[in-house]
Amino acid sequence: MADGKVMPEEGRRLLLTKAGAPNTIEIGTYSPESPAAGEVRIRTAFAGINFADLMMRLGLYQPRPPYPFTPGYELSGHIDALGEGVTGFELGQAVVAGVTGGAQQTHVCLPASQTFALPDGVSLEQAAAMPVTHMTAWHMLVHLANLQPGQSVLIHGAAGGVGTAALQICRIKGAGLVLGTCSGHKSDVVEANGGVAIDRYNDDFVSVVKQHTDGRGVDVILDPVGGKNLRNSLRCLASGGHLFVYGFSAAAPGKRRAFLRALWAWKQTPRFDPFRLMMSNKSVHGVHMGTLDDQELMRSYLALIIGHMQMGAIDPVIDRSFPLAEAAAAHEFLHDHKNIGKVLLDMS
């Protein structure tokens, strides 16, 4: 070790090699770089997996680097090298970071300004499960919707990573009625986090929302599905309400690319008329945290969320961690909607 740097072991990383099924995933090796001035290098402990990674593997997500590439938007680990001029961090320190890509590898160099030191009481697993899910939910519910006590919320995919994060944030903000769609066998996790579960396969969520709100609709809706689901979401949005679109899972119902199914989902997606939105006092927001470049804003989210984690108000729901070598199985697990909460890659 010299000048705050150590020579790391050979690195390993997940590679998306071409558009296709999970069996196109490869695990490659590489020589980790030393951090540049102002950067730290993190020896990754855990990296999060998100549905965006699956969509990129299928070739249905933008922006996406050319194949082959390493995906991943979030990681936790320990600093194992410091670039010139870095202050406020030390070797071996536990940290978390949200990145624009490349998190699913054993060594990651990034600006120190994008790195957040973990306080006592927040584990590496909890930390890796939080940046994408909780910052996405916080951005929509708190920053954009300005969720107020007593307001009503509908969360699609409420038993998933962003969904469980949103349920906990709704509780922090004192939301009133919170409804969540999920598979029937996942109802318990929605209700345990303060929501009213709606069976996504057997219930008409529009009718359920109308029944619970005396026909008014809900104030805020989070929709990562798109297609016909988004059209129906708009039907149960209250006057003055906010509808957030942050995914298009309807275009990727299976493990392989299905262009006809994706095209059909696109045709079913509503086209928003600004004048109708104006007359009904409704707003539709598109959210893509991967292209949000306001680092100060995201850093403020991380600080607030970690503070709530320390107080026990936020506790990321983690389903399981897969070893890096089993990344394809992790993708299968998410495609099959088996997860409750977050899925991680164990990079150790």
User: What's the pLDDT tens digit per position in 44-87?
Assistant: 999 999 999 999 999 888 888 999 999 999 999 999 999 999 99
259-275 pLDDT, tens digit each: 667 777 777 888 888 88
pLDDT surpasses 70 at 7: no
pLDDT surpasses 70 at 333: yes
Compute, in degrees rounded to 10, the torsion defined by CA atoms 327, 331, 332, 333. Answer: 100
Question: In the prediction, which pLDDT does 265 show?
Answer: 73
Bond before 63 cis per omega within 30 degrees: yes
Domains parsed from the chain with CATH numbers: 11-129+317-346 (3.90.180.10), 132-288 (3.40.50.720)
Token pair in block for residue 27: 């695990």
- Residues 280, 274: Cα–Cα separation, whole Å: 10
- Residues 56, 43: Cα–Cα separation, whole Å: 25
Residue 80 φ/ψ region, left for φ over 0, alpha for ψ in the -120 to 50 degree band, beta for the rest: alpha
Pairing verdict, β 39-49 and 74-82: antiparallel
184 vs 9: which has the higher pLDDT: 184
233-242 pLDDT, tens digit each: 999 999 999 9
**Number of continuous H segments (helices) and E segments (strands) in the chain:** 11, 15
pLDDT surpasses 60 at 230: yes
- Residues 23, 151: Cα–Cα separation, whole Å: 44
Q: Which position has the token pair 């469980």?
A: 164
- Residues 186, 321: Cα–Cα separation, whole Å: 19
162-177 pLDDT, tens digit each: 999 999 999 999 999 9
Nearest residue to 314 via CA among 166, 125, 152:
166
30 vs 251: which has the higher pLDDT: 30
- Over residues 278-305, the mean pLDDT reads 92
279 burial class (0-12, 13-18, 19+ CB within 10 angstroms)? exposed
Would you say 178 and 170 are in contact if contact means Cβ atoms under 8 Å apart?
yes
Confidence category of residue 248, pLDDT binned at 50, 70, 90: confident
3-state SS, residue 28: strand
Would you say 21 and 27 are in contact if contact means Cβ atoms under 8 Å apart?
no
pLDDT surpasses 80 at 250: no
79-130 pLDDT, tens digit each: 999 999 999 999 999 999 999 999 999 999 999 999 999 999 999 999 999 9
Buried b (16+ CB within 10 A) or exposed e, 291-319: eeeeeeebbebbebbbebbeeeebebbbb
- Over residues 322-331, the mean pLDDT reads 97
Confidence category of residue 1, pLDDT binned at 50, 70, 90: very low
Rg of the chain over Cα atoms, rounded to whole angstroms, equals 20
Question: In the prediction, which pLDDT does 270 show?
Answer: 86
Please spell the DSSP secondary structure of 129-147, one letter per residue.
Answer: TSHHHHHHHHIIIIIIS--
- Over residues 290-294, the mean pLDDT reads 88
**Side-chain half-sphere of 341: how many Cα atoms within 13 Å?**
22
Model's pTM, two decimal places?
Answer: 0.92
Question: In the prediction, which pLDDT does 88 show?
Answer: 95
Please spell the DSSP secondary structure of 69-134, one letter per residue.
Answer: B---SEEEEEEEEE-TT--S--TT-EEEEE-SS--SBSEEEEEGGGEEEPPTT--HHHHHTSHHHH
Question: In the prediction, which pLDDT does 272 show?
Answer: 85
Q: How high is the mean pLDDT of the chain?
A: 93
pLDDT surpasses 70 at 217: yes
Would you say 106 and 12 are in contact if contact means Cβ atoms under 8 Å apart?
yes
